Copies of this chain bind each other. A is one copy, B any other.
Amino acid sequence: MHVEQRQQTHAKFKSAGISHALLANEQSVRWLTGYAPPMQLGTNLFSGGPALVWYEDGHFTLVVLDGMAGYAAGFEAQPDCTLVTYPGYTIQQPIAGADRLSDALHQVLPPSGVKRIAVEQNALPLRIVHELRQALGTALDIAAIDGWLEPLRMVKSAEEIAKLRANFALTDIGHAAARTATQVGQREIDVWTAIHSAIQQSAGQRVPLGNDCVVGYRENNIGGWPLDLEIRTGDSLIVDLSTILHGYWSDSCATYYASDPTAAQIKRHKMLEEALDFAISLVKPGAVAREIDKQVRNFVGDRGYAVYPHHTGHGVGVTGHEAPRIVPYCEDVLAEGMVIMLEPGTYEPGVGGARLEDAVLVTADGAEILTKHDKRLP
Contacts and interface: CB of A to CB of B under 8 A. Distances in A.
Binding site secondary structure of chain A: loop
Interface in A168-205: 187, 189-190, 192-194, 196-197, 200-201, 203-205
Nearest to A39: B42
Contacts of A319: 45
A321 B98 contact: no
A93 to B, nearest CB: 6
A351 interface: no
Contact of A196 (B125, B196, B204): B196
A328 interface: yes
A328 B205 contact: no
A216 interface: no
B201 A190 contact: yes
Interface size class of A (residues with CB under 8 A): 35 or more
A328 B90 CA distance: 11
Nearest to A123: B125
A114 B227 CA distance: 46
A192 B208 contact: no
A295 to B, nearest CB: 15
Nearest to A26: B43
Given A26-B43, A127-B144, A130-B121, A226 B205 contact: yes
Interface of A: 26, 38-43, 45, 48-49, 89, 91-94, 97-98, 119, 121-127, 129-130, 142, 144, 146, 187, 189-190, 192-194, 196-197, 200-201, 203-206, 208-210, 225-228, 242, 244, 309-311, 319-321, 325, 327-329
10 contacts: A40-B209, A91-B310, A92-B329, A126-B126, A187-B204, A189-B204, A193-B197, A194-B197, A197-B197, A205-B226
